Amino acid sequence: MMKLWNKLLDKSIFFSFDKSGYERHKKEYFKELVPTDIGVTFITGGTSGIGEAVADFLSSNSVIVVGRDESKFKGNDGRSFIKWDVSDWTAIDSFIHDLPIIDNLVLNAGGMPENYSVNEQGIEMQCASQLLGHIILLKRLIAANKLNENAKVIITSSGGMLLKKLKVSNLFFTNDYDKVETYANVKRAQVIMNEILAKEYSSLQFACMHPGWVETTAVKEALPGFYKRMGNRLRSPEMGADTINFLICNKFKSGEFWFDRKITNTHLCFLTRETQEKRILLKDKINKLIEEFI
C-alpha cells in the first residue's frame, strides 16, 4: 500500500519535486554517501547554490570551483578557484593548460537573465553558457588530455524542461525572448546532448540530472512568484546536490537522466518528444558553431 501511495505522490510532480519528495525518497532508498578516492572534481557555478553544496560535500577532496565572483568563493579546505564566465569561450585558454587531470566534471553553472543578451559571439546568453559553453569546455579538456580516460561528466538540468519540446530555431538566437521558455529549451537541449555525447565519447561516463525545486538565490531572483508560493516546500541546496554527489560516488550507466538517485524519464508525455532529425539538427548546429567560433 505504501509503495502505491509513493507512486501516486511521485506522479503528482508537486509532492515529488518539493522537499517532501526528497525526504520521502531518502527514507525509501537512500544510503549514506562516502566521498573517498574520487579524484579531482571540477565544478562550474560552484560558488553558490547547488554547485557550492557539491563543493562542500567534497571538501575533503581536491575540488576546482569555477565562478564569476571570487568574493563568493569559500576556499579554506581542498578547494581552489578559477574566475571564469562560462559564456566567455575564449577565456578557456587562460586556465586549461594549468589544470590537473580531472576525474569528475560537474557542468552546473546556470542562470535566467531577465532580459535578452548575447555573448561576444552573438549567442543568446543562457545557451552560450549552460549549453555551448559547457560543451566547448568538455571538448577542450578532451583535446588537452585533461580528462581521466573514464572521467564522469555530470550535467545539471531542470525539471522545467519536462514540459518543453526542443525548438532549435530559437535556441541560439531569438527575436522573441522569454526567460522561462528559453531556460526550458536550453535544459531540454542539455538532456538530448547528454545522450549524444555519451555515444560520441564512450570511454567517459555521462549523466544528466535534475535537482527538484531548490531554494537558491538564482531561483528567488528569477522566479520570485514561484519562490514565494513554494515557501518552505523548496528543497535546500544540499538536497538539490544529492544526486550529483551520488553519481560522483558511484558507478552508473552512461547517457541517462537522473532524479533523486534514480534513472527517470526525460519526457512526461509523447508531445515533448523530438524526432531523430531534430536531434541530428541540434548536434550539427552545435558542432558548426563550435567550429566557426573556436
pLDDT in tens, 184-193: 999 999 999 9
Q: How many residues does the chain have?
A: 294
> What is the C-alpha end-to-end distance of the chain, expressed in Å?
56
Task: Look over the chain and give the mean of its residue pLDDT values, rounded to a whole number.
Answer: 94
- The answer to whether 126 touches 115, Cβ cutoff 8 Å, is no
- Does 120 score more than 70 pLDDT? yes
**Calpha distance 99→59 (Å, rounded):** 18
In this prediction, residue 1 carries a pLDDT of 56
Q: String of b and e for 5-41 (b: at least 16 CB within 10 Å)?
A: ebeebbeeeebbbbbebbebbeeeeeeeeeeeebebb
| SS3 at position 154 | strand
Sequence-distant (6+) residues with CB within 8 A of 73 are 47, 65, 67, 79, 81
Copy the grid coordinates of residue 44: 562550474
In this prediction, residue 2 carries a pLDDT of 63
pLDDT tens column, 27-78: 999 999 999 889 999 999 999 999 999 999 999 999 999 999 998 898 777 7
pLDDT tens column, 65-103: 999 999 889 877 779 999 999 999 999 999 999 999 999
- The answer to whether 127 touches 82, Cβ cutoff 8 Å, is no
Query: Using 50, 70 and 90 to split pLDDT, how confident is the model at 219?
Result: confident
In order of their start, the domains of the chain are 39-67+81-293 (3.40.50.720)
